[in-house]
C-alpha cells in the first residue's frame, strides 16, 4: 500500500455520509491500495463518524468558521459558496503527495489505482458540456499554496455555476486544451443518467465503466430498495432506465449487505 496517496471524499451531513460509506466500501471491495479519507463538517453526527471510521482510514473534520482567517474571510464574502469552499479543503491534505477526489454520490465498480499515474489536474468531461470537466472525480496534488489561490479565486470571481465545478473549471481553465493526459476517460465518471442520451455508445462502452456518478437531484439513497428482490422498487425508481436501475441496485446491494450491519 502507498501511504502517501489517498482517495478522498466529502460529507457535510448524515445523508451524504450514506453515499460516502458505500463509496468507501466499494473502494475496499476492489482492493484500493491507497488510504481512504473522508472530510466531514461539524454537522455530521458522532454515530456516523464512528461508522465512517470503520470504512475509512481517516475521518477529518474541516470547519469553515474555525479554520484559518482567510477561509473565514472568503466564506463571509461569499456565503453562497459554503459547500464549494468545503470541497476545496481537500487541497489542505498535505500529508499526502497526490490524491483522487470522488464525490460521495459515486460508486467504484473496479480497481482504479491507475488514476494515481495521472497528474493534477485530471478529470473527465462533463456530459452536459464536454469542454468543461465534471468535478465529481479528479486527481489533485494537495498544496496550501494552491488552496489559498483557489480561495482567492472564489472570493474574486465567485463560481459561474454557484458550485465547485464552475470554480474549478475557471481556475484550471486550460484543462480542455492543454494536455490530453489530463482528460480522464468517461468510464472514470460515468453519469448514471446520461446513459440513455447516446445509448449505442453506452451499449458499446458501458460495461467497461469503472466509476458511476449519480449526479443530479435523485441520489441512490432517495430510492426504496427491496432486499428480497435485490432491486430498487418501481415506485421509487421513477423514470430510471434499465442501466441506471442496475447501478442503483449495485449501490443498494453494498449499502444493504455491508453498511447497514455496521449501523446496528
Ligand atoms: N456534498 C455534501 N453535502 C451536500 C451537498 C454536497 O457533502 O449537502 C458533497 C458530496 O461529496 C457530494 C459533492 O459535495 O457528492 C457534490 O455534490 P453533489 O454530488 O450533490 O452534486 P452533483 O454531482 O449532483 O452535481
Ligand atoms: Mn456528485
Environment of ion ligand 2 (residues, CB < 5 A) = 103, 105, 136, 215
Instruction: Centre a 10 Å sphere on the Cβ of residue 93 and count the other Cβ atoms it contains.
Output: 23
Band of the pLDDT at 195, cuts 50, 70, 90? low
pLDDT at site 67: 44
Architecture of domain 2-175: Alpha-Beta Complex (3.90)
Instruction: Centre a 10 Å sphere on the Cβ of residue 153 and count the other Cβ atoms it contains.
Output: 17
Indicate the domain borders of the chain: 2-175, 190-263
Residue range 86-110, pLDDT digits in tens: 899 999 999 999 999 999 999 999 9
Residue range 20-79, pLDDT digits in tens: 999 999 999 999 999 999 999 999 999 999 999 999 999 999 976 444 555 555 666 666
Best probe residue, ligand 1, of 12, 123, 163 (max atoms within 8 Å of C-beta): 12
Residue range 204-261, pLDDT digits in tens: 998 999 999 999 888 999 999 999 999 998 665 556 677 789 999 999 999 999 999 9
Question: Residue 251 and residue 109: Cα distance in Å, rounded?
Answer: 10
Provide the β-strand partners of residue 101: 8, 138
Task: Check if 171 has its Cβ closer than 6 Å to any atom of ligand 1.
Answer: no
pLDDT at site 237: 55
pLDDT at site 65: 45
Best probe residue, ligand 1, of 8, 10, 88 (max atoms within 8 Å of C-beta): 10
Q: Which three cell numbers stand for residue 85?
A: 469552499
Task: Check if 9 has its Cβ closer than 6 Å to any atom of ligand 1.
Answer: yes
Task: Check if 11 has its Cβ closer than 6 Å to any atom of ligand 1.
Answer: yes
Q: What is the pLDDT of the chain when averaged over all its residues?
A: 90
Kindly report whether the peptide bond that precedes residue 121 is cis, defined as omega within 30 degrees of 0.
yes
Helix residue spans in the chain (DSSP H): 14-29, 46-55, 69-77, 82-88, 144-157, 164-171, 175-178, 199-205, 234-237, 242-254
Band of the pLDDT at 17, cuts 50, 70, 90? very high
Band of the pLDDT at 182, cuts 50, 70, 90? very high
Distance between alpha carbon 246 and the CA centroid of its chain, in Å? Answer: 20
| pLDDT mean over 147-156 | 89
Nearest to 136 by CA among 171, 103, 177: 103
The residue ranking higher by pLDDT, 146 or 84, is: 146
DSSP code of residue 238? T
The ligand minimizing its distance to the Cα of 38 is: 1
Question: Residue 67 and residue 164: Cα distance in Å, rounded?
Answer: 19
Amino acid at each position: 500500500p502507498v501511504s502517501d496517496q489517498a482517495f478522498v471524499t466529502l460529507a457535510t451531513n448524515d445523508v451524504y455520509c450514506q453515499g460516502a460509506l458505500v463509496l468507501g466500501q466499494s473502494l475496499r471491495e476492489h482492493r484500493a491500495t491507497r488510504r481512504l479519507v473522508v472530510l466531514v463538517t461539524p454537522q455530521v453526527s458522532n454515530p456516523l463518524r464512528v461508522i465512517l471510521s470503520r470504512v475509512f482510514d481517516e475521518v477529518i473534520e474541516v470547519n469553515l468558521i474555525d479554520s484559518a482567517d482567510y477561509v473565514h474571510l472568503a466564506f463571509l464574502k461569499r456565503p453562497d459558496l459554503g459547500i464549494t469552499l468545503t470541497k476545496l479543503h481537500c487541497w489542505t491534505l498535505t500529508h499526502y503527495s497526490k490524491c483522487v477526489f470522488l464525490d460521495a454520490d459515486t460508486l467504484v465498480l473496479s480497481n482504479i489505482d491507475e488514476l494515481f499515474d495521472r497528474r493534477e489536474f485530471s478529470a473527465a468531461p462533463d456530459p452536459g458540456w464536454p469542454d468543461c470537466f465534471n468535478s465529481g472525480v479528479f486527481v489533485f496534488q494537495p498544496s496550501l499554496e494552491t488552496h489559498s489561490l483557489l480561495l482567492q479565486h472564489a472570493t474574486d470571481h465567485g463560481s459561474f455555476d454557484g458550485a465547485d465545478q464552475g470554480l474549478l473549471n475557471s481556475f484550471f481553465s486550460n484543462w480542455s486544451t492543454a494536455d490530453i493526459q489530463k482528460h480522464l476517460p468517461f468510464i472514470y465518471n460515468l453519469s448514471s443518467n446520461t446513459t440513455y442520451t447516446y445509448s449505442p455508445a453506452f451499449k458499446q462502452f458501458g460495461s467497461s465503466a469503472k466509476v458511476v456518478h449519480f449526479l443530479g437531484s435523485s441520489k441512490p439513497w432517495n430510492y426504496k430498495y427491496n432486499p428480497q428482490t435485490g432491486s430498487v422498487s418501481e415506485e421509487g425508481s421513477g423514470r430510471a432506465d434499465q442501466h441506471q436501475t442496475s447501478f442503483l441496485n449495485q449501490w443498494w446491494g453494498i449499502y444493504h449487505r455491508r453498511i447497514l450491519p455496521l449501523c446496528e
